[in-house]
Structure 1
Amino acid sequence: MSGSSVAGRPTSALRKVLIPLALAQFICSFAGSNMNVMINDMSEDLNTTVQGIQTAITIFLLVMAAFMIPGGKLTDRYGRKRCLLVGLAIYGVGALISAVSPNLGILILGNSILEGIGTALLIPPVYILTTLLYRDLTSRARAFGAISAMGGVGAAAGPLIGGLITTAISWRAAFIFQAVIIVLIIILSRHIEDPLPPDPTSVFDTGGAVLSAVGLILVVMGILAADNNFWLMVTLLVVGALMLLWFFLWIRAKERAHKEPLLSTSLFRNRTSNLGMVTQNVQWLVLMGTSFTVAAYLQVVRGYNAIETGVIFTAATVGLLLSSFGAERFAKRRAQRTLVMAGFVLTIAGIVILIVMVGESSSPWAFAPGLFVTGFGIGLMLTPSVNIVQSSFGEEQQGEISGLSRSVSNLGSSLGTAIAGTILVVGLSHGGYAAAMITLAIVGLVGLVAGALLPRGRVPGLAPEGSLGPS
């Protein structure tokens, strides 16, 4: 950032604002991946199974996805800073409950439900405040770059940090760590000033919120049921799809009646934004799916402990950090579309390397090259995808698009853990690892196609090709 004023605030003040916003994204992403290296420790301590821990992780990610859209809408009514602080408080309480949980049920209450709801309330304000406070394209791009990078680092470094804490102290201390970071974010958030006043007259669409949440929950639960009951899986998936269709018809009917829906249907008519959200969904699906699959395989099949598993994941963290640090330089030279496509090509290549090298070698370091390439690819495209979506709409729709965008990303995270985890658990000792990774590579191809369909020229709200774009 330069020393100039942005949106009427000095750059130094904006830097202070960016720290808690980036930390908030970091801790929420960390929470989604750090449990992957605690599978053995937690399942033994809580008297449950690998599938039980997978369920807790998936529910956490699912609750985030299901309530992210309502969370984004509530920021209009109650204000962005207030929702941020309330979300942080709920998250902190959930982390403390998780730390003392005596069984899987209490863990799901603290980690999956309360931390999930807290995240759904605090993440939309992070992206809305960034969009509103950083007015010029360069500073906004760098801010999104820092926040997206911290999110990716949180997800990639979660296994390493979680493994260190679990081995040195206990898996319960990892939740204490989260609570401490939450307190720090609350303290740092005193620098934040909401640029727009709350609108108490804003109507909240309760019916739409229920329909969207139930639909998303049923779809993911259907995937989780795949290894238990085929017809239950089909039933849940069909009912979930019907609920989501009902949700769309509901919001369209409210618009036609000139009432305020949970989401404007105009959000779904922006082709560039839709493609950007597909890439976001696939990025997080592949990242979280790979993280769970590799971590579970290392611990259950190879017998590695939490710290050994976390150290192996350092390769992914290094790759993601390198691409994140180089994001601004890449954006100056390449278009958004190019970065997204290159990211998917590298990510798919990383998965192929993970399949081939792990199949041919019993060394734990056989995972390193594939994880590094995958991490580098994910880091390369996280920021362009976020900025493409956020910048496709004006200030008046930032609450809605932030909630929808984050919901789509977190739905990808929950689907990644559910799909890859289910395939892995079913065939853990009979080719489940390879099957799960091949599935993730195929999904990555979907993201690559979506990236190829993004406009070649200028994306609305972003710099033209060859100029300084999002970092």
Structure 2
Amino acid sequence: MHGDTGCESAGQASADAVDRPDPGSGPRGTDRWRALAVLSLAQLMVILDSTIVNIALPTAQRGLGFSDSDRQWVVTGYALAFGSLLLLGGRLADFFGRKRLFIIGVVGFAAASALGGAATGFPMLLVARAAQGAFGAMLAPAALSLVSVTFAHDAKERGRAFGIFGAVSGAGGAIGLLLGGVLTQNVSWRWCLYVNLVIAAVCLVGALVWLQAGERPQRVRLDVAGTLTAVAGLVGFVYGLGNAASKGWGDGRTIGPVAVGVVLLVAFVLIERRVADPLLPLGVVLDRARGAAYLAVGISGIASFAVFLFLTYYLEVTLRLSPVQTGLAFLPMVAMLMVGAIVSGAALLPRVGPRPLVPAGCLIGAVGMAMLTGIEPTSTYAGGVLLALLVMGFGFGLIFGPAQNAATSGVGSDEAGVASAMVNTVQQIGGSIGTAVFSSLSATAMSNYLHTHGPAATQLATINSYHLVFWIAAAVLLAGAVLAAGLFRSGPLPVGADAALVTVH
């Protein structure tokens, strides 16, 4: 009897700890939803900057006079800095305060964007893009963790909030393509960077008004060894994958950095098992539900890059749409993604949990990918692409909101930042893997087709390579459905006291 009483007391203590207002838990009442709007806008700024510059690159190249080999670094510089520093950014949010780091990230991102917009040459533009990535690595995990702790106690509100945030995260890439096309065509490529000053100003004012005062920093040591191995390992891995598309998988500039990156990441895991204050507490990722969520986000990142990259090629090169028309072509997918994310997050997730939703999203996304394998040189947008985009958009919406929610559920307030950083990290790594693997497979398929059918069949060879990419992306999503169904637990996600008990045990 005494043992039972002790367990009940411990459980009650855990519940009280969660029910007690957390200094970083965010504003109350309607201000929470205004805060969510600010955090979602900041997330949009970070995500769209991974694609908004892509369409502007040819114009920027002509304006600044840099080479084709330099051009890829305008994109890679952002990706390398962003992907490699995310874990550090997430831990800094836990150590020094989420609101504080969010504001630093917003101001720094705006300053880097202003520098890039005013670039007078390639070196200045590259430095600006790398700085954008570094400040984005502070901003993104701080924003997601603020959503998590602001909506920590009510399952329905949390589901609705993550549905909205997930919809924005999933739609950012397509919105970047559209906005980049509009600004480049009608104003200047420089406004693809200057536009962030407007967005950042709104985010900064909103943060000062609606985000609650930052929580007290934790007095812990930064895991220097873990930080160095994580950053170097992620840089090597992402850099090597970036070289795979242009240099090939057998090139030393691909194999070497990837191998070094993998070794350093293994060393990082070994270090994290032993240090007192790890950069990434392994319990964050080893939890079954969170592990499944990270896996789902990574898989969706791999597949979504197949859509944005190769479907963009098809629309612009084969169907000869302008950059603005190409961006507009993705809007139906964005709309359905938002519908899927908000409906699943607000209405379904609090009742059934992520187990039926994420696998269903992967399956629906796979169907949409398979539909794209029917495109031909003579296809039209309405007849060959539109329905597939609608189906895929809804499927991805069922993945993003529930997965982001699950990835940050059940963690203590002192680990919310790094748990949030892992979401962006696996999405970034997934995108890098997808870009490298699909680009390589596409090039090989095209080469083989031309070898068999002759150089006159270039257009058919291109379409054939797209078909292969979409089939493999569909297979990746099917594998994701199986893994998610097996790893996620049945039932709603824990919130409030239940989340505390999950964390304790």
CA distance in 2, matches of 1:303, 1:324: 31
- Is 1:215 matched up with 2:233? yes
Aligned to 1:25: 43
Alpha-carbon distance between aligned partners in 2 of 1:83 and 1:458, rounded to the nearest angstrom: 34
Correspondence for 1:316: 333
Q: Is residue 241 from structure 1 mapped to residue 259 from structure 2 by the alignment?
A: no
Change in Cα spacing, 1:372 to 1:54, as seen in structure 2 (3 Å) is farther
1:351–1:267 CA distance, 2 compared to 1 (3 A): same
78-87 vs 414-423, which moves further: 414-423
Q: Does 1:197 align with 2:243?
A: no
- Of residues 162, 166, 188, the one that matches 2:184 is 166
Whether 1:76 aligns to 2:94 is yes
- Rounded to whole Å, the distance in 2 between the matches of 1:67 and 1:295 is 29
Distance 1:274 1:379 in 2: 19
Work out whether 1:446 is the aligned partner of 2:479. Answer: yes
Matches within 5 A, 1:87-166: 87-111=105-129, 113-134=130-151, 135-166=153-184
Q: Distance in 2 between matches of 1:156 and 1:8?
A: 30
- SS of 2:277 mapped into structure 1: coil
Secondary structure class of the residue paired with 1:114: helix
Alignment of 1:71-470 (within 5 A): 71-111=89-129, 113-134=130-151, 135-190=153-208, 191-194=210-213, 196-199=215-218, 201-226=219-244, 227-229=246-248, 230-232=250-252, 233-254=254-275, 259-300=276-317, 302-327=319-344, 328-331=346-349, 334-356=352-374, 358-359=375-376, 361-365=378-382, 366-424=384-442, 427=446, 430-431=461-462, 432-458=465-491, 461=494
CA, structure 1 residues 374+58, in 2 after alignment: closer, same or farther (shift >3 Å)? farther
What displacement does 1:40 show?
4.1
Shift, 1:459, TM fit? 5.3
**Counterpart code for 2:212:** E
Q: In the TM superposition, what is the alpha-carbon distance from 1:245 to its structure 2 partner?
A: 0.5
Q: Which residue number in structure 2 is paired with residue 468 of structure 1?
A: none
Name whichever of 117-126 and 91-100 sits farther off: 91-100
Distance 1:323 1:51, change over 3 A: farther
What is aligned with 1:469?
none
Q: Take 1:154 and 1:128, find their aligned partners in 2: how far apart are those partners?
A: 18
Residue 212 of structure 1, CA deviation: 0.9
Q: TM-score, normalising length from structure 2?
A: 0.82
CA positional deviation for 1:446: 3.0
Structure 1 CA distance for aligned equivalents of residues 388 and 290 of structure 2? 30
Structure 2 CA distance for partners of 1:42 and 1:295, relative to 1, 3 Å: farther
Kindly provide the CA deviation profile for residues 69-94 of structure 1, in whole angstroms up to 9, marking residues without a partner as x.
11011113321111111111111122
**Stretch of structure 1 that moved more, 57-66 or 239-248:** 57-66
| Partner AA of 2:306 in structure 1 | G
Matched with 2:15 is none
Counterpart check, 1:14 vs 2:32? yes
Structure 2: how far apart are the matches of 1:59 and 1:411?
Answer: 14
Structure 2 SS opposite 1:10? coil
> Percent identity between the aligned chains?
24
Distance in 2, Cα, partners of 1:27 & 1:8: 21
Distance 1:96 1:306, change over 3 A: same
**3-state SS of 1:171 partner:** coil
In 2, are the aligned partners of 1:166 and 1:307 still within 8 Å (CA)?
A: no
2:84 to 52, 66, 71: 66
Counterpart of 2:16 in structure 1 is: none
CA distance in 1, matches of 2:302, 2:314: 18
Q: What secondary structure is seen at the aligned counterpart in 1 of 2:196?
A: helix
In 2: Cα distance, 1:441 partner to 1:316 partner? 17
Aligned counterparts of 1:45 and 1:346: Cα–Cα separation in 2: 43
Number of aligned pairs?
452
The Cα shift of 1:312 comes to 1.6
Q: Give the whole-Å Cα distance in 2 for the aligned partners of 1:460 and 1:363.
A: 43
**Residues 354 and 493 in structure 2, CA contact (< 8 A), matched pair in contact too:** no
Calculate the aligned-residue CA RMSD, in Å.
2.7
CA contact (8 A) 2:164 2:338 kept: no
Matches of 2:390 and 2:333, distance apart in 1: 4
Give how far 1:407 is off: 1.5
Instruction: Answer with 1 or 2: which has the greater Rg.
Output: 2
**Which secondary structure does the structure 1 equivalent of 2:216 belong to?**
coil
Structure-1 separation of matches of 2:490 and 2:379: 47
1:68-119 deviations in whole A, cap 9, x for unaligned? 11101111332111111111111112212222334444333222x1111111
Comparing 343-352 with 44-53, greater Cα deviation is found at: 44-53
Task: Tell me, in whole angstroms, the C-alpha distance in 1 between the residues paired with 2:231 and 2:477.
Answer: 26
Is the CA contact (8 Å cut-off) linking 1:42 and 1:53 kept in structure 2?
no
1:375, 1:43 → 2: CA distance?
A: 32
Any gaps of 5 or more consecutive residues in structure 1? 464-471
Query: Measured at CA, do residues 137 and 29 of structure 1 come closer, stay the same or move farther in structure 2, by a change above 3 Å?
Result: same
1:218 CA displacement: 1.4
Contact kept in structure 1, 2:407 and 2:423, CA below 8 Å: yes
Change (3 A) 1:332 1:28: same
- 1:13 Cα offset (Å): 2.0
* Deviates most, 86-95 or 313-322: 313-322
1:37-48 equivalence runs, <5 A = 37-47=55-65
Cα distance in 2 for residues equivalent to 1:109 and 1:28:
17
Structure 1, 418-427 or 93-102: larger mean CA deviation: 418-427
